[in-house]
Structure 1
Amino acid sequence: MHKKTSLALAILLAAGVAAPVMAAKVPAGTELAAKQEIVFNNGAEPATLDPQKMEGTPESRIARNLFEGLVIQDDKGNILPGVATSWDVNDNNTVFTFHLRDDAKWSNGDPVTAGDFVFAWQRAVDPKTASPYSWYIEMTTMANASDIINGKKSPDQLGVKALDDHTLQVVLDKPIPYFIRMLGHTTMVPANKKVIDQWGEKWTSPDHFVGNGAYTLTDWVVNERIVLKRNPNYWDDKDTVVNQITVLPIESENSELSRYKAGEIDITNGSTPIAIEHFRQLKKDIPEQIHTTGQVGTYYYSFNNKKAPFDDARIRKALSFAIDRNVITDKITGQGEIPAYAFVPDITAGFTPVVPAWAKLTQKERVEEAKKLMKEAGYGPDHPLSFELLYNTSDNHKKIAIAVAAMWKQSLGVNVSLVNQEWKTYLATERAGDFQVARAGWVGDYNEASTMLDLLTTANGNNYARYSNPEYDMLMADSKSVVDETKRNEMYNQAAKLLDRDMPVAPIYQYSTTRLVKPYIGGYPAANPEDIFYFKDMYVVKH
């Protein structure tokens, strides 16, 4: 039902029909707390708060509250107007004209204009910015994006222009059925040129920060806290209830749980599962405070396809086959995660992935296949494979890494050394390709299969596996202009079969979000498949 609703809305949106604005709704008779403040654990120190330079979940969750793009989402993942109130589309779906609200302002009082979007998007594709998400704008098929990213054209030739302060025109090289959905990503929010020109890299410090979201940045103590306060210049401030958000960077799930129980945290991170032994007890003690939602995302191990011996598909497949995913989802995570044998999650709107043949084998049969592949590749008891497995700091990532390393050792005689790095360093290591095998996770940037499959195209800036297959790239490129969903899904499944053959990454489980939320927090979106939430939609009940 939810999928059908989302698809129907997407059709209306593509035609330029905007859904109604849905502001925070406090139920009649609700007695609000005098102190409207929320403490949220973000799970890591953000690498940056510059939206055109960020790439991870810890950054984007904060950014959604500091900035607002042309569109946003409701609690179920449906697209709503943000800065844009409506839009028109030409007959061949390649020219979009957005009409911006005239009451949108920056936190310093400046009006938000179409030129602010032009500046932000040109900045994202400009090689000088070195945006890790420049590829995302290229994936929208925005005119000249590819040539600009590759240094063949100047950023001012990007297919976007301000017709006037409140009218933005976007030109695509070819139609893309889910273009409006893609505009909800944090890379696509506007940027204030005057502020960035004045302060350079320091513009995201609390003293200089200017955003256009419901909140603004007032304090940032690295590795301690980030404080967001209500932005009185936000166009919908009248419907915002919570005055302050304190964001914590606690990486340890055990420390997070202790502080939640002590009343020091109102909403937990949710990106990593609660330790299963604690989760079982919490289900008995406070089941009403546990919120679990399926998510468009996959937890996986990334093989460095450019480093021997992981440039050999037999090695990659053997290691993937030998992972007992049921043990991980049943014994380590245990909160609704689904074992993953393909890269695209089952929950993805409008798409049914084909189950790979090896997924239908028993685990014992998979291990036997893995042993054969390892032997063919020249590894065995007399010549064991040894390598490092990188993961970012987290109790659960560590547990999973230890379990998988043990599986590989027991079934294939592989020797694994575990390497742990904090979030920012881990991202830099992946980006530099300075790893052999790394823990990874990808949560969809929008709810459509391409958000997962595009990640493994050669040009994708977040393709840290360094997978490169011209046939795969061509399939994904050609799929962009296929409006018929059935035909497009056939192409997606062809691409998925190539991933199954080459195994550039080892999918482990399909994400679900399990988050503890205090009973006095109202407006928490418990059914968003991308785990997108805005504090402006929440409120604190008297308790």
Structure 2
Amino acid sequence: MSVSWKKGLATVASIGMVGVLLAGCGTNSTAPASNGSSSSTGSNSSSSKPVEGGSITLDSTQAVPDLDPAIAFDTTSAEVDEAVYDTLITYSKNTYTIVPDLATSWDVSPDGKTYTFHLRQGVEFSNGDPMDASDFVFEFQRLLDKNMQPKPSPGNQFFMDIQGAQAYYNGTAKTISGVSAPDKNTLVIKLVKPEQFFLKVLAMPFASAVDPAFVKKVGNAAMDTTEAMGTGPFEVQTNNQNQTVLVKNPHYWKKDSYGQQLPYLDKITINVNNNSTVDALHWEQGQTAFMSPWLMGGDGIPTAQFPTIMNSPKYKNMVLKQDQNSIYYIGLNVKPVLNGKPNPLSNVKVRQAMEYAFDDSQFIKINNGAVLGLNQPLPSTMEGYVQNLDPSATYSLDISKAKQLLKEAGYANGLTVDMWDENTDTAQKEDQAFQSMMKQIGINVVLHEVTWKDFLTKAMSGTAQVYQSGWVQDFPDASDFLNTLFNSNQIAAGNNMNNYSDPQVDQWLNQAEYSTDAQERDKLYGQVINKVMSDAAWIPTIQNIGYYCVQSWVHGFYTSPVMYDPFGSIWVDPGHNS
């Protein structure tokens, strides 16, 4: 499959229903951590007392583009930022349960609009500076500063419902009226409307504690590229295009139940190597500690090596599986006139014909069975997923019906469309398969395969007639998929890339966005899903399963449907340094 998603963080991929650890090896008895931290049990844990010290080496297919948590909006950056920075709240291990992190507790007002967080005392940044509530106020100001240099935060969109956020963003207010620190240990956030998912938004790396004195000293540019200062388990020693090195934060506040200070590891070295086949070979030879979707992209195991690893008696017992809230789809642009020409895809029957001509089993085969089929714009692991779609929203492979629909639409002699995608090997195979499927019903697909950057420029302009893209959760809620991808107010933002617009769908989405009734939200989102699928807004293709290949000498590793790799809980066999 493609290794890129349009936007989003898979940690926060992210996220819904409780995720399940599907497979693994080893025992599950590492002692839990204290001080509010989650335990380090997992499918690669040991019954013995965790050993402090040691180091691991990892491979990554991409360099870390953004160290600044206010700027990072990609999975590679989030993998590192989550190890360096802490947020007010986080998720418990491999669940969707929100638990304390830098906040020990919080209160929510009866109207759901005021959140009061009580902060953990005695926490320090890795340089020894004390952390307090004003550090979060400072970070929210950075998030909502549209003129921040060298670039503003892409995360501001998630916090616009805070009182005064829009005024501060517009430059008409010098402070954010809805964010305050009554004292060093208390943070108050006030919303203009209640958001059922607001805690999930706060668990995103954007809302991390940062050290104002350090940021002002080094500047935003250095903060994003070579410098970092958080309260997390590790600090950045090196970050460049070839390597990222993390070392133990000596001031980290968490300890395990044995009284040992976390993290256990002294050092993590991440080497950048975009040859995923070589990365897999390094792991097979024991040179690297683990492979994961956040390091390797896609499902975590390079496509070419998937059969070898999964069919090997030696390696298959080292593989963990985790359902992921990430999907892929083929977008069908519904704009009546596109690039100065009448667009046949504005006719719903043409789009429905393409739905009936699509065979997801071919995409599954291309990906060596490492993915699941998809029939709607939500992954099956997400709360709000519709178990039984309406008949009008359900499609199966039916070439005769597809041809009949094209005839009814006035295209009995066929038509030609342009398709855009990134130029990776797997994406090209999928594009060619789709091209062959459409040819069976008389649709000629002209392929334009370009770099990921150029693809985004074209698709986000709203001028790509057909395109293949994907979405990974920013936070675990159906709104992050449905409202972002189908609300007409997202056309200008470049998220609704196929120009889909329906007043009834907008009404349902806007109502669900601020409803605090979970059953009502599920009902509304179900109506949205059935409507956009009846309208054949786009063709769902596949959803990801995350595969994690973990060496037997690595302990404390666990998977999560929301969080990135648990660097803070990992320990290795005594004397083992990879």
Measured in 2, the distance between the counterparts of 1:532 and 1:266 equals 15
Match of 1:132 in 2: 154
1:341/1:356 contact within 8 Å kept: no
Q: What pairs with 1:242-281 in structure 2 (closer than 5 Å)?
A: 242-270=265-293, 271-273=297-299, 274=301, 278-281=305-308
What displacement does 1:261 show?
A: 1.9
The answer as to whether partners of 1:106 and 1:233 remain within 8 angstroms in 2 is yes
User: Which residue number corresponds to residue 469 of structure 2?
Assistant: 440
Separation (CA, whole Å) in 2 of partners of 1:184 and 1:84: 11
**Which residue of the partner structure matches residue 210 of structure 1?**
229
Q: 2:252 aligns with which of 226, 234, 241?
A: 234
Cα deviations by residue, 1:387-436 (Å, 9 ceiling, x for unpaired): 1422264x4333323322332334443233241315x6655555555744
1:54 aligns with 2:88: no
Q: Which runs of 4+ in 1 moved over 6 A?
A: 3-6
SS of match in other structure, 2:311:
helix
Q: What is the deviation of 1:158?
A: 4.9
Cα offset for 1:300? 1.9
Q: Secondary structure at the match of 1:292?
A: strand
Structure 1 residues 104 and 317: alpha-carbon distance in aligned structure 2, compared to 1, 3 A threshold: farther
* Alpha-carbon distance between aligned partners in 2 of 1:392 and 1:40, rounded to the nearest angstrom: 22
1:332 Cα deviation from its structure 2 partner: 2.4
Q: Displacement of 1:175 after TM fit?
A: 1.9
Deviation at 1:241, TM superposition (A): 0.7
Structure 2: runs of 5 or more not aligned: 1-15, 20-33, 256-260
**Equivalence for 1:536:** 568
Tell me the residue number matched to 1:491: 524
Q: Which of residues 79, 87, 98 in structure 2 aligns to 1:69? A: 87
Q: State the SS of the aligned residue for 1:157.
A: coil
Task: Check 1:276–1:106 CA distance in 2 against 1; reply closer, same or farther (3 A cut).
Answer: closer
TM-score (norm 1): 0.85
Give the SS at the match of 2:290: coil
Secondary structure of the residue aligned to 1:509 is strand
Whole-Å Cα distance in 2 between the matches of residues 167 and 432 of structure 1? 43
Alignment partner, residue 183 of structure 1? 202
1:282-431 to structure 2, matched below 5 A, reads: 282-285=309-312, 286-303=315-332, 307=338, 309=343, 312=346, 314=348, 315-335=350-370, 337-349=371-383, 351-357=385-391, 360-363=394-397, 365=398, 367-374=399-406, 381=413, 384-391=415-422, 393=424, 395-422=425-452, 427=456, 430-431=459-460
For residue 480 of structure 2, what is the amino acid of its counterpart? T
**Which structure is richer in relative contact order (CA contacts within 8 A, separation 6 or more)?**
2
**Alpha-carbon distance change, 31 to 119 in structure 1, aligned in 2, over 3 angstroms:** closer
- CA distance 1:66–1:33, change in 2 (3 Å): closer
3-state DSSP class of the match of 1:472? helix
- 1:450 matched to which residue of 2? 479
Deviates more, 1:192-201 or 1:89-98: 192-201
| Contact 1:160 1:168 (C-alpha < 8 Å) held by counterparts | yes
Residue 24 of structure 1, CA deviation: 3.6
1:13 counterpart residue number: none
Is residue 2:163 matched to residue 1:143? yes
Alpha-carbon shift at residue 258 of structure 1 (Å): 2.2
SS of 2:83's equivalent? helix
Shift of 1:170: 0.7
Query: What SS does structure 1 have at the residue aligned with 2:432?
Result: helix
Residues 491, 20 of structure 1: alpha-carbon distance in 2 compared, 3 angstrom cutoff: same
Q: Partner of 2:556 in structure 1?
A: 523
Equivalent position amino acid for 1:385 in 2: T
The total of aligned residue pairs comes to 518
Query: Over residues 160-194 of structure 1, what are the superposed CA-to-partner deviations in whole Å (9 max), with x where a residue is unaligned?
Result: 11112221001112222232222111222233333
One-letter amino acid matched to 1:446: F
Q: TM-score, normalised by structure 2?
A: 0.80
Distance 2:252 2:139 in 1: 19
Determine if the alignment matches structure 1 residue 21 to structure 2 residue 37: yes
Q: Where does 1:152-167 land on structure 2 (aligned, <5 Å)?
A: 153-154=172-173, 156-167=175-186
Quick one: structure 1 residues 538 and 310, their matched pair in 2 at CA, closer, same or farther if it must change by over 3 Å? farther
Aligned-pair Cα RMSD in Å: 3.2
Hey, what does 2:547 align to over in structure 1?
Answer: 514
| TM-fit CA distance, 1:210 | 1.8
Aligned residue for 2:291, secondary structure, equals coil
Q: Calculate percent identity across the aligned residue pairs.
A: 23
Shift of 1:318: 4.1
Deviation at 1:69, TM superposition (A): 0.8
Name whichever of 163-172 and 128-137 sits farther off. 128-137
Maintained 8 Å contact 1:344/1:353? no
Secondary structure in structure 2 of the residue aligned to 1:525: coil
The SS at the match of 1:385 is strand
Query: Mind listing any 5+ residue stretches in structure 1 that lack a counterpart?
Result: 7-17
CA distance in 1 between counterparts of 2:393 and 2:82 reads 37
